[in-house]
Chains A and B, each alone.
Chain A
Amino acid sequence: GAVVSQHPSWVICKSGTSVKIECRSLDFQATTMFWYRQFPKQSLMLMATSNEGSKATYEQGVEKDKFLINHASLTLSTLTVTSAHPEDSSFYICSARDKGVGAEAFFGQGTRLTVV
């Protein structure tokens, strides 16, 4: 299957700082990318959906000013956690979908964020 690369795989940051997570589709053009958040032993909760060149659509309860998403090109989307706090510590996973209706979505390796 297609490859989605997520970077970094883990990051530790201090409270109040911002962290940027990158999601790249390596061998296909991702018209749509999804960002998920996963707490320990929980499922993946969709945070937002982004389409290349347009603003992201956030799920209810997700603060768009805190979780900034930029889908600047067909191969790159970024999630920036601004003014991070310990409660933002979580596992973040991106997913990228190829063009075409019904196209399969591929997942990145995930990023473990720890805010201290």
Chain B
Amino acid sequence: SQQGEEDPQALSIQEGENATMNCSYKTSINNLQWYRQNSGRGLVHLILIRSNEREKHSGRLRVTLDTSKKSSSLLITASRAADTASYFCATWGGSYIPTFGRGTSLIVHP
């Protein structure tokens, strides 16, 4: 069961630019998490935002959550070539089963 939908599906930027990815979901959630996946590798947890939070920061990452619009955004500031990866949002609802979106493929050109 797939709930989150990331937008855009692919994003190509230059080093130093900011990258913004969006995630929309359909049902009520308890929290939403963003993950990063390098090609052919496992998932790396980036940040968790709870349903009663609106914004969280972690280093160059900024996540917002708008429960009224059922959407979240991930902003990576001052991007680096090493940020090239796929980024997924995962939502946790009442069942506490993480459900993933399709992901955004980010390419940062040096």
Residues of chain A touching chain B, judged by Cβ–Cβ distance below 8 Å, are 1, 6, 32, 34, 36, 41-46, 49, 59, 91, 93, 95, 97, 101-110, 112
CB closest chain-A residue, reference B96: A102
**Is the beta-carbon distance between B102 and A107 smaller than 8 angstroms?**
no
B42-70 CB contacts (< 8 Å) to partner A = 42-43, 45, 48
Q: Is the interface of A mostly helix, strand, loop or mixed?
A: strand
Q: Is the CB of B96 within 8 A of A101?
A: yes
- Report the minimal beta-carbon distance from A95 to chain B, rounded to whole angstroms: 7
Asked whether A102 and B105 contact (CB < 8 A) given A1-B45, A91-B40, A107-B35, the answer is: no
- Which B residues are within 8 Å of any A CB, using their own CB? 1-2, 30-31, 33, 35, 40-43, 45, 48, 88, 92, 96-103, 105
* Bound: A17/B14 CA distance, A: 46
- Chain A residues with CB under 8 Å of B48's CB are 104
Contact B41 A46 (CB under 8 A): no
Query: Given A43-B88, A95-B98, A101-B96, are A107 and B1 also a contact pair (CB < 8 Å)?
Result: no
Beta-carbon contact of A44 and B105 below 8 Å: no
Shortest Cβ distance from B102 into A: residue: A43
> Chain B residues near A36 (CB, 8 Å)?
100
In contact, A107 and B43 (Cβ under 8 angstroms):
yes
- Shortest Cβ distance from residue B101 to the other chain A in the assembled complex, whole angstroms: 6
